[in-house]
Amino acid sequence: MSDFATLADITGEPDGWAATYGDEAESRVGFFSDTSVGVGCKACEVACKEWNVIPEDGLVWTGESYDHTSALGANSWRHVAFIEQQKPLRDHDSDGDAIRWLMSSDVCKHCTHAACLDVCPTGALFRTEFGTVVVQEDICNGCGYCVPACPFGVLDKRHLPRFDPSPDLLPAFGKKEDGRVWKCTLCYDRLKGGHEPACAKACPTHSIQFGDLDELRARADGRLAKLQAEGWNGAQLYGRDPDDGVGGFGAFFLLLDEPEVYGLPPDPVVTTRDLPEMWGTAAVAAAALVIGILGAFVGGSR
Ligand code: SF4
Ligand code: SF4
Q: Whose CA is nearest to atom 7 of ligand 1?
A: 150
> Is the Cβ–Cβ distance between 5 and 174 less than 8 Å?
no
Ligand nearest, relative to CA of residue 31: 2
pLDDT of residue 24: 92
The rounded Å distance from CA 44 to ligand 2 centre is 8
Q: Whose CA is nearest to atom 5 of ligand 1?
A: 110
The closest-lying atom of ligand 1 relative to the alpha carbon of residue 109 is 1
The answer, yes or no, to whether any atom of ligand 1 lies below 6 A from the CB of 115, is yes
What Å distances lie between residue 188 and 12, 114, 214, CA to CA?
18, 17, 19
Alpha helices for the chain (secondary structure H): 3-10, 14-21, 43-52, 115-119, 146-149, 170-173, 188-192, 198-202, 213-229, 275-300
pLDDT of residue 155: 97
Q: Whose CA is nearest to atom 3 of ligand 2?
A: 184
Closest Cα partner for 255 from 95, 45, 96, 36?
36
pLDDT of residue 118: 92
The answer, yes or no, to whether any atom of ligand 1 lies below 6 A from the CB of 154, is yes
DSSP letters of 58-71? -----SSSS--S-S
Q: How far apart are CA 282 and CA 127, in angstroms?
A: 29
The rounded Å distance from CA 173 to ligand 1 centre is 30
Choose one of 29, 45, 52, 128 to mutate for the ligand 2 pocket test, by most ligand atoms within 8 angstroms of C-beta: 52
The rounded Å distance from CA 4 to ligand 2 centre is 32
Q: How far apart are CA 197 and CA 202, in angstroms?
A: 9
pLDDT of residue 15: 56
The closest-lying atom of ligand 1 relative to the alpha carbon of residue 133 is 5
Ligand nearest, relative to CA of residue 250: 1
Ligand nearest, relative to CA of residue 116: 1
The closest-lying atom of ligand 2 relative to the alpha carbon of residue 210 is 1
pLDDT of residue 97: 81
Q: How far apart are CA 203 and CA 237, in angstroms?
A: 20
What pTM was computed for the model?
0.86
The rounded Å distance from CA 151 to ligand 1 centre is 7
pLDDT of residue 93: 75
Instruction: Count the Cβ atoms, other than its own, within 10 Å of residue 13.
Output: 15
The rounded Å distance from CA 184 to ligand 1 centre is 9
> Is the Cβ–Cβ distance between 22 and 242 less than 8 Å?
no
Q: Whose CA is nearest to atom 2 of ligand 1?
A: 150
Ligand nearest, relative to CA of residue 208: 2
pLDDT along the chain (302 residues), means of 10: 42 65 93 97 97 88 85 96 90 79 96 94 95 96 97 96 63 73 98 98 98 97 97 96 94 98 96 75 81 82 66
The answer, yes or no, to whether any atom of ligand 1 lies below 6 A from the CB of 264, is no
Cα–Cα–Cα angle for 7, 11, 13, rounded to 5 degrees: 120
